[in-house]
Amino acid sequence: MKKLLIVANLKCYKTEIEAKEWLENLKTELETVDLTGEKEVIVCPPFTLLSLFKTFFVENNLNIKLGGQNVSQFGEGAFTGEVNAKQLKEFADFVLIGHSERRTNFNETNEILLQKTKLSIDNSLTPIFCIQDSTTNIPEGVTILAYEPVFAIGSGNPDTPENANDVAKELLERKTGANILYGGSVSSQNVNSFTSKDNVSGVLVGGASLEAKEFVQIVKNA
Ligand code: PGA
């Protein structure tokens, strides 16, 4: 059986108090879920909450990995406001790169994404590289891709599982052995229609991850 990756992207949501409540709810809901098996859960909170999440997962013995939502295209230096890959690696094992919200709102070009990917890999962070269609540029060394069509993000209008599977197949032809995730309006209701497809090895969940109960239901149903 294939291993499934279930990734939560909390985007620019949650204060510390809200995050503590989310974590407590997550813990309660996870009591009946076996995370040692074929499902790997990765949570990508905002930078400000990484330390809190890391401590909580360790103290509560929760087998959940952490990811950053972004990383600097530069290493350490005089880059005010940036968080570099070495700093992120102190908390996380994964990092989202190339999300369409960053490409659009922060003008991240292929060249910038290439630098971010390279620095991440050099610092032992695994990029979860987001692409919008099967023609998107993919940097060397990427092993996890998330196919996220722009129309499906935050719209409640997911791609069809058949199309997601076809795109994943095309991507696998370009990147043999990669894990291809689907993202865009994934919910507990539709997750299995994606994860049951041959070429899809997980999901990237935005809005539906903001409620811990719904996110755990997605993990259960995947
Ligand atoms: P969504 O977001 O699940 O809210 O559509 C997915 C994403 O942007 O990663």
The pLDDT of residue 33: 87
CB 100 within 8 A of CB 148: yes
Q: Which of 154, 153, 177, 181 is CA-nearest to residue 167?
A: 181
Q: How far is the CA of 76 from the centre of ligand 1 (A)?
A: 30
Residues with CB under 6 A from ligand 1: 9, 148, 153-154, 183-186, 204-208
- pLDDT, one tens digit per residue, over 91-133 is 999 999 999 999 999 999 999 999 999 999 999 999 999 999 8
Give kind and range of the element (H or E) at residue 93.
none
The pLDDT of residue 2: 78
Q: What is the mean pLDDT of residues 38-64?
A: 97
- Cα angle at 170 between 169 and 175, to 5 degrees? 90
205 CA closest ligand 1 atom index: 3
Q: What percent of the chain has a predicted confidence (pLDDT) above 90?
A: 94
Total number of residues shown for the chain: 222
Per DSSP, 181 falls in state E
Q: How far is the CA of 59 from the centre of ligand 1 (A)?
A: 29
Q: How far is the CA of 78 from the centre of ligand 1 (A)?
A: 32
Query: What is the average pLDDT score of the chain?
Result: 96
The pLDDT of residue 37: 78
**What is the maximal distance between C-alpha atoms in the chain?**
47
